[in-house]
Amino acid sequence: MKPRAWIVVIVAGFALAVAAGAGCGGKGEKSATATKAAKYYCPMHPTYVSDRHGDCPICNMKLVPVGDEKAAAEHVEAAEPSGSAGERKILFYRNPMNPDVTSPVPMKDEMGMDYVPVYSDEVSSAPGDIEGYATLTLTPEKIRLAGVQTASAERGGASRIVRTVGTVTADETRVRRVTTKISGYVEKLYVNFTGQEVRRGQPVLSIYSPELLASQEELLRAKEAAARAAVSSDPEARRRGEDLLDAARRRLALFDVPESFVSEVEAGGVPRREVTLLAPVSGYITAKETYEGAQVEPGMPLYTVTDLSRVWIEAQVYEYEAPSVRVGQQAALTLPYDPSARFEGQVSYINPYLEPESRTLTVRFEFANPGIALKPGMFVNVDLEVPGGEGVTVPSDAVLDTGIRQIVFVEQGGGVFQPRQVSVGSRSAGRAQILSGVAEGERVVVRANFLLDSESRMRAGISSASEKHDHGGAQ
């Protein structure tokens, strides 16, 4: 071969060797880069591992970086109940967003997320599990990351508070009409506007009445006759004189003439043209129906005086609360604008019929009103404590109300949490009475129970999907 040909062969061989070496180096570098790619896992679902940072598609918790594939695998193995990942049997793969969608082989959903493997030890059920829920077994690390806290079920007194909003009204038994029993003319008003406060015995008006004037003259003549009869030796004459004087006094008293006025007339010996009438009760003028110079007739209302030292509260309670309300029960009242103000009262009356439009029952409370702090027309808050008897109670936060049933998670020990359906009675002071489902001394989850609820439902969904897979094949 010519020298030039040898040179061409040598150069070509060297170029091929360089190209081969470059190809191997690139492949190795790419493999190393892939090996060093970051991995992320879910603290609540360690079996879910992703190569992208984000949220867990099952519980929406932030994914935590693991490091590399080896560390991720070690973490998954450590999080499993027993054995290594290689020893566990994969039943099928499920859609991470819908446990009912399964596949016998690995695949991706329409969003590009990998189906999650379902192992045989994940679909086991415990005796007593309720429909739609599964018993959970969590590692201490899962319990710590989820923030699970428990509290003991205790026996004690249970009661509940019936809360309602009421309206302040005047006590109808403390409303008094001021009238006159004679005809006449109003000469002067001492109480002349609505809302004015009056005291018992306070002058309210002066009236001129011919009938009262005649009655005063009869009183003075009867007094003179009694004085003459007093010196008589005839006992019967003295008695008739005294009876006549008492009858004249009683006549004026029946016309609501004050006793002090009668004494003044007797002492002066001269009838007075005007007679001053006094307030029969203390209270506030809530209606004024006369004026100076007006003519009045017997029975005509002149004033309405309302005593507000005690008031009524008219409140509505719902139909289901009505059986718990009894006359005489103690109640507490607070003001919306001043929660520090507190009044003590009681139920005084319960309407015998239900309001058909609102399906509520009207309940009347009676409260003392010092300082007239409660004014008619005001809205107030009323709390009525209804005793519920002795029973097992748990913190109210432990009860999950689905709208159809109430669920609590009971700690069984060893990281096992069992969902139980309970019957809840009364609630008060942050605790709920448990009529059935939980025994005294058992510990219930009071924090992170929503996470447990989600996980329990998911496990139940996986179990249901497993049964469908076993009986009907892949979906």
In this structure, what CATH number is given to the domain that contains residue 205?
2.40.50.100
From 388, 415, 438, the end of a domain falls on 388
Which residues, in sequence order, are bridge partners of residue 419? 409
What confidence tier does 232 reach under pLDDT thresholds 50, 70, 90?
confident
CB 362 within 8 A of CB 315: yes
What confidence tier does 106 reach under pLDDT thresholds 50, 70, 90?
confident
Q: How far apart are CA 120 and CA 97, in angstroms?
A: 20
Strand intervals (E) in 273-415 = 274-278, 283-288, 295-296, 301-306, 310-318, 330-335, 338-355, 360-368, 379-395, 400-401, 406-413
User: pLDDT value at position 48?
Assistant: 75
Q: Are residues 190 and 279 in the same domain?
A: yes
User: pLDDT value at position 248?
Assistant: 92
Quick check: is 257 in a domain?
Answer: yes
From 271, 303, 335, the end of a domain falls on 303
User: pLDDT value at position 130?
Assistant: 76
463 vs 249, higher pLDDT: 249
Nearest one of 386, 384, 385, 388 to 435, comparing CA atoms: 388
User: pLDDT value at position 42?
Assistant: 76
Q: Indicate which CATH number applies to the domain containing 364.
A: 2.40.30.170
Quick check: is 299 in a domain?
Answer: yes
Question: Among 119-128, 219-228, 374-383, whose mean pLDDT is lowest?
Answer: 119-128
Quick check: is 270 in a domain?
Answer: yes
Q: Are residues 183 and 274 in the same domain?
A: yes
Backbone angles phi, psi at 175, to 5 degrees: -105, 130
Please tell me the total count of domains within the chain: 2
Q: Are residues 377 and 332 in the same domain?
A: yes
pLDDT tens profile 156-187: 776 778 899 999 999 999 999 999 999 999 99
Quick check: is 274 in a domain?
Answer: yes
The answer to whether residue 425 scores a pLDDT higher than 70 is yes
pLDDT tens profile 179-223: 999 999 999 999 999 999 999 999 999 999 999 999 999 999 999
What confidence tier does 338 reach under pLDDT thresholds 50, 70, 90?
confident
User: pLDDT value at position 116?
Assistant: 77
The answer to whether residue 439 scores a pLDDT higher than 50 is yes
Question: Among 114-123, 148-157, 333-342, 348-357, whose mean pLDDT is lowest?
Answer: 114-123
CB 49 within 8 A of CB 66: yes
Tokens 């942050």 belong to which residue?
430
Q: Are residues 287 and 370 in the same domain?
A: no
Quick check: is 394 in a domain?
Answer: no
| Structure token pair of residue 261 | 């006025």
Q: Are residues 279 and 318 in the same domain?
A: no
Quick check: is 225 in a domain?
Answer: yes
184-189: strand order across its sheet: 274-278, 203-208, 184-189, 295-296
Q: Which domain holds residue 200?
A: 179-303
44 vs 450, higher pLDDT: 450
Backbone angles phi, psi at 238, to 5 degrees: -65, -40
Per-chain mean pLDDT for the chain:
81
Quick check: is 449 in a domain?
Answer: no
Q: Are residues 197 and 278 in the same domain?
A: yes
Q: Are residues 344 and 366 in the same domain?
A: yes
Residue count of the chain: 475
H helices of 120-202, in order, are: 140-146
From 303, 329, 350, the end of a domain falls on 303
